[in-house]
Chain A
Amino acid sequence: MSYSDEFTIGGRALKSRLFIGTGKYGNDSMIPQIAESSGSEVITVALRRVDFSNAKGNVMQQIPKHMQILPNTSGARSADEAVRLARLARASGVGDWIKIEVISDTRHLLPDGYETAKATEILAKEGFVVLPYMNPDLYVARDLVNAGAAAVMPLGAPIGSNRGLATREMIGILLEEIELPIIVDAGIGKPSQACEAMEMGAAACLVNTAIATAGDPVRMGAAFGEAVRAGRNAYLAGLGRVLGKGAEASSPEEGTLTGFLK
């Protein structure tokens, strides 16, 4: 049984809440199969890897026509470089969506919140649908909301680490406080972790490394598609009560902290 649960972002209604990537594959020709097995409708592409001269083909040609392309600014180290890459993306005809990645630490690959917010502000004013990759920090998230982001994309763990929801508590705070869709990006290594993010109330998950470097990427794409659906259904269904110690209702009794109320 399936429930209607469309997700609209940047004016586009999406049925799948799994976003996939194009990096780290052994062969780009695998991408259409992964798009199909995962059911994903949004795919991110690093502009730096797009060979516009096209002499040897181009990753863009592998992307199924029905998919929304989410170009990203991987490699940008400043707001300025991110903005230039975004404008290049628009000029190349892939639309107005842009995932801002501004990373100025090549060892840990953590996003630079200040530069990301600056780029978001400039590009949102230019009419881009801006999805910034960010550290799950409440203040940065608020800056991004004010800057005009269409969603925020907090990392679950350092990019490529497959360590799962290491930032669970912080993402939980964003889910509480931020009205925009929260798309968990980076660090998700297993379908169960994507499922957990969705159970928590994330609007979507972006998964690349865990699929691209799996033994069988096509099958792993399917597994993530199912996990994201399962997590979303669980969230919509409303998780049941978890029995915990000492959470039982009782009347005040002698010898307890509230016994004097008797």
Chain B
Amino acid sequence: MYTPLEDGFAAELKRIESLNVKAIAENATEDDVRAALGRTFLREEDFPVLLSPAARPFLEVIARRAQDETMRNFGRGIQLFTPLYLANFCTNRCVYCGFSTKRDIKRRMLNLDEVEAEAKAIAATGLRKILALTGDDPKRTGAAYLAGCIRVLAGYFSSVGIEVPSMTVEEYAMQVAAGADSMTMFQETYNHARYLDLHPGGPKRDFYFRLDAPERALMGGFRAVNLGPLLGLTDWREDMAAVAAHARWLMRKYPEAEISISLPRMRPHTEGGEVAFVPEDITDAILVQAMVALRCYLPQAGITLSTREPAWLRDRLLPLGVTRVSAGVCTAVGGHDPDVSKATEESGEDKPQFDISDGRSVDEMSSDLLRLGYQPVFSDWLLGGSGASELTGGVAEALRTA
């Protein structure tokens, strides 16, 4: 059993819970909303007010402020990345997930040659930022396997992120040494009881091991951490308040770290034509309210938007605070290089973790961004991976030794 970090986020989460965010939101008045919007820097108690039903009529006003804050802090650049699914072996039983151990899908993990082929294929699209993912199977695809994959990816990408099961500080340090620089960890829900309901078995069931993971990653040397609630698993206002508090707390404790937040919405998961899990309905209006409130409360936090959302909606959410989007996405293991894709097909592993709603390629995404007045940003950091595998000359040498 994991012992939570002594001065970790757990105590702060208890404090946030004691504020009773739900009640603040329910009792908020229009005057509270006006007062919150009148401040240059929003206070902690302003955030649930902006998430409240009373704030709904002010959505346009909040959205404008969110747009201003985004423009000031991030300008018109949107970072592009793509996830690379390395493996889908999984020993967890998350009731809402397409990779859960209970699901009858074929399992597969890429070998290093396949990782390299995938890396080449993705790098050829122009992307310089990659997010490596695995399921949760420490024996097959644990820290050592991941570090090996990262060493390969670092040769092709200037920034390598990971979205993998929670690790120890030492294991995180291994990934940093291999060339990773950013870490994504969705708590899924910050409601402990609900978390236990949704994760009946497997290593992920340990709530606190996951809750402390972003901090352990920073302790292990990661530069950037991306948090996220999976909206729809429980009361969305409570999870939004908790994730914002988590981000704010990490910013205070690790001011040098780049903290960003994803706002994925849970989609109904179907299995054999039957709906296997029904989340709370997070409407577009709720998603917008959550995003613009977050942008106003934490103007410097990055916001990531995945291809779970359809293209038309992603385009409209851009001005509201989004700073990073994925493109050219395949959520099955190995689907970028033709040969690797063929091997994937032959293995029978063709089930994605979740269905994507925005199938735009990197080129299509780039031209759509430009059309909307945004510039696709491919490179945002240089000292993580060298990204120099296919370069020659002085710059390549400098990148390799930098």
CA distance A72 to B71 in the complex (A): 21
Establish whether residues A26 and B256, one from each chain, have CB atoms under 8 Å apart when the complex forms: no
Establish whether residues A91 and B397, one from each chain, have CB atoms under 8 Å apart when the complex forms: yes
Tell me, rounded to whole Å, the shortest Cβ–Cβ distance linking B7 to chain A.
20
Contact of A85 among B73, B390, B394, B402 (CB under 8 A): B402
Closest to A210 in B: B72
A75 at the interface (CB under 8 A from B): yes
Which residues of the other chain, B, contact A52 by a CB distance below 8 angstroms?
Answer: 379, 387-388, 391, 395-396, 399
B123 at the interface (CB under 8 A from A): yes
Establish whether residues A48 and B77, one from each chain, have CB atoms under 8 Å apart when the complex forms: no
Q: Of residues 35 to 57 in A, which have CB atoms within 8 Å of B's CB atoms? A: 47-53, 55-56
B222-256: contact bitstring with A at CB < 8 Å (1 yes, 0 no)? 01000000000000000000000000000100011
Which residues of the other chain, A, contact B77 by a CB distance below 8 angstroms?
Answer: 23-25, 49
Closest to B252 in A: A107
Pick out which of these stretches binds chain A: B195-203, B328-336, B367-375. Answer: B367-375
CA distance A104 to B395 in the complex (A): 26
Q: Of residues 65 to 106 in B, which have CB atoms within 8 Å of A's CB atoms? A: 71-77
Contact of A91 among B258, B259, B383, B394 (CB under 8 A): B394
Closest to B299 in A: A107
What is the total number of residues of chain A having a CB less than 8 Å from a CB of chain B? 37
Closest to B159 in A: A48
CA distance A56 to B361 in the complex (A): 14
Which residues of the other chain, B, contact A48 by a CB distance below 8 angstroms?
Answer: 379-382
Q: Of residues 1 to 38 in A, which have CB atoms within 8 Å of B's CB atoms? A: 23-28
Which residues of the other chain, B, contact A75 by a CB distance below 8 angstroms?
Answer: 380-382
Dominant SS at the A interface?
A: loop
A61 at the interface (CB under 8 A from B): no
Establish whether residues B75 and A23, one from each chain, have CB atoms under 8 Å apart when the complex forms: yes
Tell me, rounded to whole Å, the shortest Cβ–Cβ distance linking B263 to chain A.
19
Establish whether residues B380 and A49, one from each chain, have CB atoms under 8 Å apart when the complex forms: yes
CA distance A51 to B381 in the complex (A): 10
Which residues of the other chain, B, contact A104 by a CB distance below 8 angstroms?
Answer: 255-256
| Given A24-B77, A91-B397, A213-B76: A84 touches B402 (CB 8 Å cut-off) | yes
Which residues of the other chain, B, contact A51 by a CB distance below 8 angstroms?
Answer: 126, 128, 158, 378-379
B307 at the interface (CB under 8 A from A): no
CA distance A162 to B75 in the complex (A): 12
Which residues of the other chain, B, contact A105 by a CB distance below 8 angstroms?
Answer: 255-256
B366 at the interface (CB under 8 A from A): yes
B377 at the interface (CB under 8 A from A): yes
Which residues of the other chain, A, contact B376 by a CB distance below 8 angstroms?
Answer: 56
Establish whether residues B255 and A106, one from each chain, have CB atoms under 8 Å apart when the complex forms: yes
CA distance A52 to B300 in the complex (A): 27
CA distance A84 to B382 in the complex (A): 10
Which residues of the other chain, A, contact B398 by a CB distance below 8 angstroms?
Answer: 87-88, 90-92
Q: Which of A51, A77, A81 has the most CB of B within 10 A?
A: A51
Establish whether residues B394 and A106, one from each chain, have CB atoms under 8 Å apart when the complex forms: no
Q: Which of A24, A28, A53, A212 has the most CB of B within 10 A?
A: A53
A244 at the interface (CB under 8 A from B): no
CA distance A3 to B381 in the complex (A): 43
CA distance A160 to B390 in the complex (A): 36
Establish whether residues A161 and B387, one from each chain, have CB atoms under 8 Å apart when the complex forms: no
Which residues of the other chain, B, contact A53 by a CB distance below 8 angstroms?
Answer: 123, 128, 387-388, 390-391
B193 at the interface (CB under 8 A from A): no
Which residues of the other chain, B, contact A85 by a CB distance below 8 angstroms?
Answer: 382-383, 402
Can you list 8 A-B pairs with a CB-CB distance of less than 8 A?
A24-B74, A26-B373, A49-B379, A85-B383, A90-B398, A92-B398, A106-B256, A160-B75
Q: List 19 extra interface pairs beyond A104-B255, A106-B259, CB under 8 A.
A: A23-B77, A25-B76, A27-B375, A48-B381, A48-B382, A52-B387, A53-B387, A56-B366, A56-B376, A75-B380, A77-B256, A88-B398, A88-B399, A92-B394, A105-B255, A107-B251, A160-B72, A161-B72, A213-B72
Chain A residues proximal to chain B, CB less than 8 Å? 23-28, 47-53, 55-56, 75, 77, 81, 84-85, 87-88, 90-93, 104-107, 109, 160-162, 209, 212-213
The list of the 10 closest CB pairs from A to B, nearest first, reads A24-B75, A91-B398, A56-B126, A26-B76, A104-B256, A105-B255, A51-B379, A26-B373, A55-B126, A91-B394
